[in-house]
A and B are shown apart, each in its own frame.
Chain A
């Protein structure tokens, strides 16, 4: 937890449950950038990421009563909401049809270089670049694309047990990198 934060998580949760304007301002000012970074690490389209960020804050606002501090930190809860919302958007029909349209003019967008974000250097993506290729793929599929272990097993034509073991090894390595 950064030291400049005025309130600890417990205080922030209490404020959020009161639904005060001040709580919203505090939440947004201190967490929007981190959550936005998580979102753009999943969704490269900036405009879509903007939409998802708005959706995420509204979800946090509405679902704060469902947050249970016994199960984890508020920040973890918010990051998972952000990741899930991003993956849901990525998988939604509207996004896929948009994507098809976009592919036609992709070269134009790439030339402009303003729409898509170079995600390899941000968030957890930056961390996994240090992993071995096979572990990188597993985390990419599981974390950034939201596939379940069952789905990954089918996709990679691998036994579920192997997927589980390899994913956990990848995560242990990830932790080691974060610890440095």
Chain B
């Protein structure tokens, strides 16, 4: 078969339309390489088919292009990326990045907030601790005071029980001439012979001096004991007195005297 017969056999058309078998295809391609006329014939028929294919075409719906662009968007090269507006996948990446940014920003804000809270709580804790210590000290003070009040109440109860005793004789000693402001009371138990003293109102003793109680027995002063410096309320005197007609207090030297200094008598009262 010469080239011309080959070209007019219909194999060229079959080849261009894609209807040749694998062997026929290889055969045509070899012929095209060997014979320019075959190659030309192929080209001519291709142009004919192409021209026919461009007549009365049907246009696909517009959305198809968008769909294909979407599918190919990440496969477009970056050469003219400036012309690429925004494609789905790129948009997704940008969205992902921006959402990461938001997460990071949120994390930083939370961290700052948490740090702030830590400072706040620490200072609040310190404040509370200081207050707690103050309260603790106050409580201790109150407890100590309480103990001291309790002691005082005990003393007063004791004093009351002393005073309330039915055997108790009450002797009010009034201020002597020039010392009328002074007053003291002796409680004398007629049974036990114990002597108790209430320094209602006595001048504060000068340095080195002390009050001394005397019982006047048959006109003579008998030492009834020293008035303690810390005597508040009812104080039990150290000596018992069997009988007396009067009681008096003089200001003596510290520790007391054997005989009273009469001009230093502050109060005196008769046993009724």
Interface residues in chain A, defined as those with a beta carbon under 8 Å from any beta carbon in chain B: 1-2, 18-22, 24, 28, 32-34, 36-38, 40, 49-50, 53-54, 57-58, 61, 70-73, 75-76, 79-80, 83-84, 117, 121-124, 126-127, 142-143, 148-149, 167-172, 174-175, 178-179
Contact = CB atoms under 8 A, between A and B. Distances in A.
B170 to A, nearest CB: 123
B9 to A, nearest CB: 6
B77 A174 contact: no
Contacts of A1: 47, 50
A173 B262 CA distance: 171
15 contacts: A20-B79, A24-B68, A36-B58, A58-B71, A61-B75, A73-B46, A80-B17, A80-B18, A142-B19, A148-B21, A168-B11, A172-B8, A174-B13, A175-B45, A178-B52
Ordered nearest first, which 9 A-B pairs have the shortest CB separation?
A168-B10, A171-B13, A33-B57, A80-B18, A36-B60, A19-B77, A178-B48, A171-B10, A34-B53
A24 B72 contact: yes
Contact of B14 (A53, A84, A167): A167
Contacts of B53: 34, 37-38, 75, 79, 123-124
A21 B73 CA distance: 8
B1 interface: no
Nearest to A117: B58
Nearest to A62: B75
A12 B68 CA distance: 18
Interface residues of B, number: 47
A167 B19 contact: yes
Nearest to B79: A20
B134 to A, nearest CB: 77
B54 interface: yes
A34 B226 CA distance: 138
Contacts of A117: 58
Interface string B8-40: 111101101111010000000100110000000
Contacts of B50: 1, 34, 73, 75-76, 79
A169 B10 contact: yes
Contact of A34 (B14, B57, B76): B57
Contacts of B16: 72, 76
A50 B21 CA distance: 29
B140 to A, nearest CB: 85
Contact of A171 (B17, B21, B46, B75): B17
A24 B19 contact: no
Contacts of A57: 68, 72
B43 interface: yes
A19 B76 contact: yes
Interface-central residue, A53, A83, A148, by most chain B CB under 10 Å: A53
Given A19-B77, A76-B50, A143-B19, A172 B57 contact: no
B83 A36 contact: no
Contacts of A19: 75-77
Given A61-B72, A143-B19, A171-B10, 13 more contacts: A20-B80, A21-B83, A24-B76, A33-B58, A33-B59, A34-B53, A36-B58, A58-B72, A80-B18, A124-B49, A124-B53, A143-B17, A167-B19
